[in-house]
Structure 1
Amino acid sequence: MEMRVATIRKRTLPSGKVVWLASYTDGGGARRFKQFPTKRGADAFLTQAKSQVAAGVHTPDSVSPTVAEAAEIWLKRCERDKLERTTIEQYRGHVELHIAPRIGAVKLSRLTAPLVNEFVDQLLVAGRSRELCRRVLISLSSIVTEAQRRGLVTVNNVRSAKPVKRSSRENTRPLMPTKAELKALIDITPERSRPMLLTLLFAGLRGSEMRGLLWEDVDLKRGVLHVRRRVDRFNAFGPPKSKAGIRDIPLPPTLLRELKAWRLACPNGPLGLVFPTTTGTVQGHANILHRFFWPLQVEAGITVLKDGKDEQGRATKVSAAKYGLHALRHAAAALWIEQGLNPKRIQTLMGHASIQQTMDRYGYLFEAQEDEAAMLAGVEAGLLS
């Protein structure tokens, strides 16, 4: 629909301030007004509004929701689409902790690229990491996209904002144990816990994938582990993080022997878990860290000094475990790369959604490539001898 009778009038407010009032008819036939401090600004607005009305995509400020209102609409859509509980909680954290406090009152129609850039700058100045800022920006873009789908805003200016790039001084290499540290961990791991440690290390599973692994996913005859599911921090089962997460991983000889022996000793349970609790239920991620992986590192002397308190409550430095569970997944990738597997194969084994993700994380590790068959027998060399 063409805009009818678009005008600009000069007005003097009771305060004596001079403004320019732009008036136009929107695509629904309603008369709209918008005030500007300069005639140039009013002219630019009417030119843009006329184009948008003609294209049928104009959203007046008066009907545009705020960022906070649009965020609630988006979160309800996520719940309706039955996204994982942990994912929705992460999104809600982005909204409640970062987006709403700073730009929640801004109308979507006024959310410009410069304003988004300023918002990210505020987060960085407040000490938020670049990775967190990147994720919050993705959530903000998704909020605007959902509003755009519903006709509540014309364009997604978040996409035009400056992307959050890693600092040139930021160490982007994943933290992982050295071979000496891995050997020390393997050597002191109790026999009952050894299959779990070796599965994390030699199959490169995420902690959530290991916790949700079922015996039906392990082909002990063919020596293949099928990744088909994971459990979240609430111990709820769901699919892998992405379609790429559904994958088959060859089991090296020693791990295969360990799993065959563990199959006979594994606690029975209705779920058929490979690594259950003693009662057959899903192990909690925190329990694995606190009762197994962190104490194991302390026993092996793989520690760092962190801030803590002594028995009298005074601030002091204490020895703490050096790595989280995910470090074993990074170590698995490093071992595969060392054996000469190419980037595409590493992407598949790790369940990465893109080759770019693989190269961003492990590109510095790639060297000469060799036959993959050598990996199955060679990946354990030096660690289990």
Structure 2
Amino acid sequence: MAHLRKRGQNSWQICIEKGRDPITGKRNRIYKTVNGTKKEAEKEMHKLAHEVETGAYIEPSEMTVKEFLLQWFEDYCESNLAPSTLESYEIIIKSHLIPALGDIKVSDLEPMHIKRYQTHKLKNGRRDGKEGGLSKRTVQYHHRVLSKALKHAVKWRIIDNNPAEVIEAPSPDTPEIKALTHDQTKRLLNVAKDWIHDIIYIALYTGMRRSEVLALRWQDIDFKEQKLQVKQAVTNPVGKGLIFRKPKTDSSIRPIDVDEDIIEILKRRKKEQQENQLKFGDKYNNEYNLVFCKPTGEPMRPQTVTRNFNRVAKKAELSQFRLHDLRHTHATLMLQAGVHPKIVQERLGHSTISQTLDTYSHVIPSMQKEAVQKLKNSLENK
């Protein structure tokens, strides 16, 4: 049986009778307060009564957003996400979502809470001490993480609906793909020295990601056939040290043909490692058989490589470029040279050719102009 009682201006209390407790004999009642007109309250009352009758009703949870997110991170994220994804989820959850929404009960979380969170993050969401907000793309990612978590809350019958589903995430602007010119690549390589030069060179000429270059092993190199095999990647999650594992997509596991210049660089690195092994003796330990490691054989941290690249870029007056832009440069220069997009896709490890074309669409117009000119030259020569 359901009852509706007026509590105040546009405020109503719904009471659903669930019978008596078989042990204590006390009446079991469900109460819910709603705002709106009487007609709207009656509609909500009938909906609630139907849920109780059919067994679809979920008791409001006392669990807070903080408690749920930490539980979800432990029960789902840690066993299902790749290390790099896990690291980004942990930062978003612990540094952003929990401080802003953590004290709210999961059952009380409303779409408006989420909308306010987005607005706040876009205006002044930075946590590095600097003024300003986060980018639309970053806030969109926050929304994706929260919505994914709340979907599990629905599956686990903690809440009956996902409030994030009715809120649109910010639409990010199309990111600008930065690629170095031929002259800029020469300038960068001229400034770089020693191991950072070799990493920059290999990244430029293979399109490999930082995580892939640092996980490259000697057994992944075929010196005779001049070919590299990308079989693993390295990440450095907060507080968990370096983790080597397979790339998160099958397409990222790939062969990459290289030329004699890269082979010579690799031979030089091999010789240097052998010299370091003699120099450090028992202190030398390259247990992962890595191509790029510290002089003592220990793995290099990705952050160390990025810092050294930034110093080189600054010295070359190319501070506007990131280490990852070497990958964009590889793809852009290959496409501009007339290399088929399918080959570029395979070298980058993209899952589909459309991903490659969408990412580097800025190159396509110039390719079309060149194609028209080539066709004209071909016809006129005949």
Task: Please state how far the C-alpha of 1:88 moved relative to its aligned partner.
Answer: 3.6
Which consecutive aligned stretches of 4+ in structure 1 deviate over 6 angstroms post-superposition? 26-29
Whichever residue aligns with residue 7 of structure 1, its letter is H
Question: Is 1:347–1:358's contact at 8 Å kept on the other side of the alignment?
Answer: yes
Contact residue 196 and residue 305 of structure 2 kept, 8 A: no
Q: Structure 2 unaligned runs (5+)?
A: 22-27, 125-132, 278-285, 372-382
Question: What does 1:193-208 correspond to in 2, within 5 Å?
Answer: 193-208=196-211
Q: Is the 8 A contact 1:70 1:144 kept in 2?
A: no
1:48 lines up with 2:20 in the alignment: no
In the other structure, the counterpart of 1:224 is 227
CA apart distance, 1:246: 1.8
**Contact 2:204/2:329 (<8 A) preserved:** yes
In structure 2, distance between residues paired with 1:27 and 1:202: 74
**Cα 1:50–1:350 shift into 2, 3 Å:** farther
Matched residue count: 340
Give the partner amino acid of 1:255.
Answer: I
**Equivalent position of 1:329 in the other structure:** 327
Give the drift of 1:144: 0.6
Whole-angstrom CA distance in 2 between matches of 1:26 and 1:353: 54
Aligned partner of 2:215 among 198, 212, 215: 212
User: Is contact 2:78–2:86 with CA below 8 Å preserved after alignment?
Assistant: no
| Counterpart residue number, 1:145 | 151
- Show the counterpart of 2:89: 91
Q: Give, in angstroms, the shift of residue 43 of structure 1.
A: 2.0
Alignment correspondent of 2:251: 244
**Partner of residue 157, structure 1:** 163
The offset of 1:243, in angstroms, is: 3.2
Q: Distance in 1 between matches of 2:204 and 2:233?
A: 17
Task: Give CA-to-partner distance per residue, 1:341-373, whole Å, 9 cap, x none.
Answer: 4555434332345656544532212353899xx
| Structure 2 equivalent of residue 286 of structure 1 | 303
| 1:132 paired residue number | 138
Hey, what does 2:117 align to over in structure 1? 119
What's the CA shift for 1:137? 0.7
Which stretch shows the higher mean deviation, 135-144 or 241-250? Answer: 241-250
For residue 22 of structure 1, give the secondary structure of its aligned residue in structure 2.
strand
Distance 1:366 1:257 in 2: 34
SS in 1 for 2:158: coil
* Residue in structure 2 matched with residue 8 of structure 1 by the alignment: 4
**C-alpha distance in 2 between matches for 1:37 and 1:282:** 60
| Cα deviations by residue, 1:14-40 (Å, 9 ceiling, x for unpaired) | xxx674211225799953111234423
CA shift in 2, pair 1:205/1:68, >3 Å: same
Q: Which amino acid counterpart does residue 255 of structure 2 have in structure 1?
A: D
Contact 1:59 1:109 in 2 (8 A): no
Q: Could you say if the C-alpha distance between residues 213 and 55 of structure 1 is closer, same or farther in structure 2, counting changes exceeding 3 Å?
A: farther
SS in 2 for 1:35: strand
1:275 maps onto 2:282 in alignment? no
For residues 269-306 of structure 1, the C-alpha deviation after alignment (integer angstroms, 9 at most, x for no partner) is 3321111111112112233344x423433443x24xxx
* Distance in structure 1 (CA, Å) of the matches to 2:291 and 2:20: 61
**Aligned-partner SS, 1:259:** helix
More helix by share: 2
Distance 2:242 2:16 in 1: 56
- The worse-fitting range, judged by mean Cα deviation, of 28-37 and 178-187 is 28-37
C-alpha distance 49-77 of structure 1, shift in aligned 2 (>3 A) = same
Secondary structure of the residue aligned to 1:34 is strand
Asked if the contact 2:12–2:34 (Cα under 8 Å) also holds between the matched residues in 1, the reply is yes
What is the percentage of aligned positions where both structures have the same residue?
25
Structure 2 equivalent of residue 60 of structure 1: 59
Aligned twin of 1:297: 313
- Cα separation, 2, equivalents of 1:209 and 1:146: 32
The verdict on how the C-alpha distance between 1:185 and 1:19 changes in structure 2, with shifts beyond 3 A counting, is closer
Q: Is the 8 A contact 1:27 1:58 kept in 2?
A: no
Shift of 1:117: 2.7
CA distance in 2, matches of 1:25, 1:208: 59
Gaps of 5+ in 1: 304-320, 372-385
Give the Cα–Cα distance (whole angstroms) in 1 for the partners of residues 40 and 167 of structure 2.
Answer: 22
Q: Aligned partners of 1:27, 1:98: CA distance in 2, in Å?
A: 44
Q: In structure 2, the residue corresponding to 1:134 is in which secondary structure?
A: helix
Corresponding letter in the other structure for 1:296: V
Q: Is the Cα contact below 8 Å between 2:16 and 2:29 reproduced in 1?
A: yes
Residues 354-363 or 66-75, more deviating: 354-363
Shift, 1:182, TM fit: 0.2
Distance in 2 separating the partners of 1:344 and 1:121: 41
Which one of the candidate residues 180, 183, 187 is aligned to 1:180? 183
2:44 alignment partner AA:
F
What SS class does the counterpart of residue 205 from structure 1 fall into?
A: coil
Return the TM-score normalized by structure 1: 0.76
Residues in 2 aligned to 1:296 and 1:363: alpha-carbon distance in whole angstroms: 29
What TM-score, normalized to structure 2? 0.77
Q: Flag the 1:6–1:157 CA change in 2: closer, same or farther, 3 A.
A: same
| Partner SS, residue 199 of structure 1 | helix
Structure 2 CA distance for partners of 1:223 and 1:40, relative to 1, 3 Å: farther
Deviates more, 1:257-266 or 1:124-133: 257-266
What is the aligned partner in structure 2 of residue 166 from structure 1? 172
Structure 1 vs Structure 2 CA RMSD: 3.2
Q: In the aligned structure 2, how far is the partner of 1:160 from the partner of 1:18?
A: 24
Contact 2:210 2:302 in 1 (8 A): yes
Give how far 1:201 is off.
0.8
